[in-house]
Chain A
Amino acid sequence: MNPERLAQELVDPIKTAVTTLPEPTLAALKEAREKEEDGARVQLDAILEAVEIGQKEEIPICQDTGTPTFYVQLGADYPAIDRLDEIKMAFRGAVQLATKEVPIRPNTVNPISGKNPGDNTGRSIPWINWNITDGTDLKVTYLPKGGGSTNMSQLTMMTPGKGIKGVKELVLKRIASMEGKPCPPTVVGIGLGGSASISMSLAKKSLLRPVGERHEDPEIMDLENELKERANNLGVGPMGVGGETTVLDVKIEYDHRHPASYPVGIAPQCWANRRTSFLITPEGDIVEVER
């Protein structure tokens, strides 16, 4: 494995992530377009045209190419497990190259000085989320999430006595109050339980699941369906101009909570629900997989 070569190889999946949409998201947008009329349809037509141009001309669909974030599923028996430092270095090199070559927007600002180094790197950025799993594969999802939707994130330490009904109310209130700001139709990620930080991280992680895919736990599945249906009754509509489609999907993940705490994390994702998933072979080659 050569970290410089790997960095160069990684530019491609970053490019695919920002210039195209995953098929399930695109299908959901097309379905929404058929349901809408007037201003809402104008928005979805513009969205679908932008996606087409992005793919054809290989340019970022949206100018906000997000905070560079890699979600890594590391198999405990991955043969090149002693080379993780080099992989980390390659991630950093890849976003620097992609900033020039794709190009993507320099999106890292020092919170104290306000300075932007201009290459999409910074303290802890690109952000790498490591998860240890079984097996021999190293699977990565690149998730460039934009600032508009991220600004609508919310953590609530709910009174536990309010229960599931309280969760539903809280989520619907949030989707209503966000209006057009997170670029709807959105995918709304929800994290229940754990701790304050765990619930936020679960909310974001839930966005890794494809649009339309339901949680394996039947109770969570029902909750996702109910919240999706109710959210679409709110009338926010595409880009907040009113309409039938406020969300493309609702995703929920949960962990057990402390008896005194009921953290509810909400992480909305804009319609440009971008990502790529790929394996890094022990030799340092990239194999793109379904996203």
Chain B
Amino acid sequence: MLKYILRRLGFILLTLFVIITVTFFLMRLAPGNPFTSEKRLPPEIEANLNAHYGLDQPLYKQYFDYLGKVVTWDFGPSIKYKGQSVNDLISDGFPVSLQLGLEAIVIALFFGVLLGVLAAIRQNQWVDYLSMSIAVIGISVPSFIIAALLQYVFAMKLDWFPVATWESFRHTILPAVALALAPLAYIARLTRSTMLEVLSNDYIKTAKSKGFNERIIIYRHALRNSLLPVVSYMGPLTANVITGSFVIEKIFGIPGLGAHFVQSITNRDYTVIMGVTSFYSIILLLSILMVDIIYGLIDPRIKVSAKEEV
């Protein structure tokens, strides 16, 4: 097991290196630079700024300098936000996105599994139709529409929640729900279909014929096996959701990480582009690893260590 994890960590480092390298050169291929603006800077000022940020060096040198810094977890200063380092931006933004993301995951997981199970055990009844209608809406309606709708109904009309900003727990509920809806819908559909499959298995029939209570059959025997696909979906979902959503954070005025992914590119804020990309990659790779480990723990059919022999 330990050997497996170590090997996976090795691959993660290798993947990270590739991601950083590709991002670095792709980013520098894009026209423009961090000092591009409608009101053009005098050339001497621009040259001075380029020298300060090391942008006047040959590209390969910049690349190796950058690699050297990343190894020590120093992403450098932000060019767009004067006086703040990329590490500051991440350590300010990540806790916000993390809290929002965890809330959304809890909502999505709880209601998603609940709807999915209800739909499966009451297949083709009104509960099923209702659950799946919710799921279809959740998947097909874009999050910015959901967000605007939630704002309109629950903040503007009913006045239960504030419209936006990030101050108290009450402020977090609407964005968390908006963020949760799409994964919730996906989880519900996933749970329903695997649950139906599991319920038709022989061992469930056996349990039924032995006269077990239906609730026990569902929870003890069926649910656990039907959750496996959900668990594997949780990996990328977690990575996505806890690093922030640009759309949701923008609409609700939340100072999370999400905005940096998009704005840093518009701004050509090189250091921030690199910083958030590396950070996101790390989170994504680690959560995939976590899922694989958890998978081995809950599904007796999969032995993580056995993979090595294949």
| A, B from the same assembly | no
**Interface residue ranges, B against A (CB under 8 Å):** none
**Interface residue ranges, A against B (CB under 8 Å):** none
